[in-house]
Amino acid sequence: MFSKIGRNDPCWCKSGKKYKNCHMAFDEKIHSYEREGHIVPSREIIKTPEQIEGIRESGKINIAVLDYVAEHIKEGMSTEEINTLVYDKTKELGGIPAPLNYEGFPKSVCTSINEQVCHGIPADDIILQDGDIINVDVSTIYNGYFSDSSRMFLIGDVSEEAKKLVQVTKECVELGLEQVKPWGFMGDMAQAVHDHATENGYTVVRDIGGHGVGLEFHEEPFVSYVTKKGTEMLLVPGMVFTIEPMVNMGTDEFYTDGGDNWSVYTEDGLPSAQWEIQVLVTEDGYEVLAY
């Protein structure tokens, strides 16, 4: 997996230091986990300090765009208007909305209401109604670096049941986040997310998950929330990925709209919530890059 670098060659992280004085021990440590049978990250998904700085700047725009949506979102507004807010603010800050034309996605943001699980397409005739819960999923490209995070918004007077779903889902991502640390495992985060959701009587969507992100919109690894502590990919400093579970009030079964080929809905029509954090694994824990 790792191409052989000589001890005295320049380190792959572009620090300018010799490999033996930089990432050689780090690579050997990863390799020892691999020998024990663990899944380990390839060097391509471990970001250099320069790349991290770029992703951090992109994340700042993503946060600012979501803050802007938070200020303006209200009952009676169309999801197309949310799309315009996202497009305009992203451009004003020097970014590009990553969803626009991504694999044919026609808009700048995903807006998913109530029983919509994810990937809802903004439209003029989708109007925010009193009692709706909506996920606004924003992703930005800035200087070639990608960021991705999403939040839920409550429109008007939301039922206690739906409010609880939104709140518990937020707690899920935050409990998952607390598990992110170097030389831990992706499954540590996953289990924390899953346990909290199921303890509250909810289900977590299995086949749509999070992802590595930074140099591309979607990178390795696939981030599941149904795996166990101590399993899945080893976490090492410099990895960047999303924690974005879709938590359902009823069944975890879902289907994709045959008309637009994007919008995902719960099979039973019960609501689904999602929050998304973009996180960096650091030397001593984590740093939130977008939320």
Site residues (CB under 5 A) for Co ion?
A: 148, 242
105 binds, among Co ion, ligand MF3, none (CB under 5 to 8 A by kind): ligand MF3
Residue 184 and residue 258: Cα distance in Å, rounded? 40
3-state secondary structure of 94: coil
The site partner of 97 among ligand MF3, Co ion, none (C-beta below 5 to 8 Å per kind) is none
Question: Residue 227 corresponds to which tokens in the numbers above?
Answer: 């795996």
Considering only 57, 81, 148, 188, the residue that binds ligand MF3 (CB under 6 A) is: 148
- The 262-291 site mask, x for binding ligand MF3 (CB under 6 A), equals --------------x---------------
Among 83, 112, 116, 139, binds ligand MF3 (CB under 6 A): 139
Find the length of the chain: 291
Residue 53 near residue 100 (C-beta atoms within 8 A): no
E strands along the chain, which residues?
A: 96-97, 110-113, 116-118, 133-142, 145-154, 203-204, 210-212, 219-223, 240-243, 246-248, 254-256, 264-266, 272-274, 277-281, 286-290
Q: How far is the CB of 118 from ligand MF3 (least distance, A)?
A: 7
Q: Name which position in 23, 89, 119, 196 contacts ligand MF3 (CB under 6 A).
A: 119
**Residues forming a β-bridge with 280:** 240, 287
CB of 176 to ligand MF3, least distance (A): 15
If one asks whether residue 105 binds ligand MF3 (CB under 6 A), the answer comes out as yes
CB of 108 to Co ion, least distance (A): 15
Inter-helix orientation angle 160-178/186-199, to 10°: 160
Name the residues that contact ligand MF3, by CB under 6 A. 99, 102-103, 105, 110, 119, 137, 139, 148, 244, 276
